[in-house]
Amino acid sequence: MNLKGRHFITTQDFTAPELEFLLARAREFKHTKPSHKPLEGKAVALAFLNPSMRTRLSMELAVQRLGGTPMTLNVGGDSWSLEHRDGVEMNENRTEHVKDAVRVLGRYVSAIGVRAFARMENPEEDLADAVIMSFKKHSPVPVVNLESAMHHPCQSLADVMTLVEKRGGVRGLKVTITWAPHPKQLPTAVTNSFLLAATQFGCDVTLVHPEQFPLPGRALEAAGRNAAASGGHIRVMHSQPEAFLGAQVVYAKSWGSLAFYGEWEKEKEIRRNYTNWIVDERKMRDTNDALFMHCLPVRRNVEVADNVLDGRRNLAYDQAENRLWVQMAILEALIK
């Protein structure tokens, strides 16, 4: 299957057979550890506009294991801050335009990984995924999304790989995605992406959150289309106890309210009503012996209790490991 030269911004840009191909290759990397070096003599830039542990290390390792050289940029730290808006007068505090940066990077590297979180200031800009789309628009080499405002596709592909490993397959699997408490207003990218990937692969998904915390409409609409095409299901609920009944998988994630975008003080007041949405062992007992998932980092005893994170059903470390294998598969597939 030829995916050379493609960008990896969201799993929605790829067909089910293409995603199956990447997962099969990721499993080969994990279990056979092939010695061939498809990135020999090549470099990959990893541009981080935000902090990371797992993504940065697993990407650097993925490039190295494929024989290439990873080059990590701390954008706005020890590398120039970047302007993504086209046509603006750059007399504010961003030093270089994405257009110029990627044209230069294209002379050095064979792909560019980008982490650019939602800024939680301008909903239109975040919903349009404006920063990563600027990289995509201007880059002469493939762009790999390492978490943007709206998507975290490497995470969701690793999540699906983990579920296939543990359950033998995911079609029809009863997966509950639950909002969780958190002391910060986080973006929706991880939830959007897992919702999209799970429905692309035919899972029976229940999304549960307090009414004030809906996901972006376009993610829900796309998930609905995915489910119709894959034979999966998607339902949205606001009662966490009901949503846990019969679940085979519980995926916990916090995200900020679109109703209070960038208005943390207002949202903080609302959140006081939902500290009891923490996932703990008592709630997990109401499930169908569900596996537990989280992308990490996790706020222990705020989002999820110790007794779940330290328990036998926690897959979070498998999810983190599988980032390495899926990213090797993605880089090998995309880079010419």
d(CA 162, CA 169): 10
| Nearest to ligand CP of 56, 138 (CB atom) | 56
| Nearest to ligand CP of 22, 243 (CB atom) | 22
Element (H, E) at 181: none
> Where does this chain touch ligand CP (CB under 6 A) — which range of 53-61, 81-89, 164-172, 232-240?
53-61
Could you give the maximum distance between any two Cα atoms of the chain, in Å?
57
d(CA 150, CA 301): 26
155 lines the binding site for ligand CP (CB under 6 A): yes
53 DSSP 8-state letter = S
| Nearest to ligand CP of 236, 296 (CB atom) | 296
61 lines the binding site for ligand CP (CB under 6 A): no
295 lines the binding site for ligand CP (CB under 6 A): yes
139 lines the binding site for ligand CP (CB under 6 A): no
> Where does this chain touch ligand CP (CB under 6 A) — which range of 3-11, 60-68, 79-87, 291-299?
291-299
Q: Which of 10, 11, 55, 176 touches ligand CP (CB under 6 A)? A: 55
53 lines the binding site for ligand CP (CB under 6 A): yes
Least distance CB 43 / ligand CP (angstroms): 21
> Where does this chain touch ligand CP (CB under 6 A) — which range of 21-29, 47-55, 88-96, 179-187?
47-55
Identify whether the C-beta of residue 170 lies closer than 8 Å to the C-beta of residue 251. Answer: no
Least distance CB 50 / ligand CP (angstroms): 8
| Nearest to ligand CP of 129, 147 (CB atom) | 147
H-state helical runs in 251-315: 264-271, 281-284, 306-309
| Nearest to ligand CP of 74, 212 (CB atom) | 74
Between helix 16-32 and helix 153-167 the angle, nearest 10°, is: 70
Least distance CB 317 / ligand CP (angstroms): 11
> Where does this chain touch ligand CP (CB under 6 A) — which range of 73-81, 199-207, 251-259, 293-301?
293-301
How many chain residues are in contact with ligand CP, going by CB under 6 A? Answer: 9
Identify whether the C-beta of residue 66 lies closer than 8 Å to the C-beta of residue 331. Answer: yes
H-state helical runs in 259-312: 264-271, 281-284, 306-309
From the list 114, 32, 34, 22, the residue with the least C-alpha distance to 67 is: 34
214 DSSP 8-state letter = P
> Where does this chain touch ligand CP (CB under 6 A) — which range of 15-23, 64-72, 203-211, 294-302?
294-302
d(CA 170, CA 232): 10
| Nearest to ligand CP of 110, 155 (CB atom) | 155
Structural tokens at position 198: 């799970």
78-110 exposure pattern, b = at least 16 Cβ within 10 A, e = fewer: ebeebbbeeeeeeeeebeebbbebbeebbeebb
Site for ligand CP in 297-316 (CB under 6 A): 297
Residues forming contacts to ligand CP in the complex (CB under 6 A) are: 52-55, 147, 155, 295-297
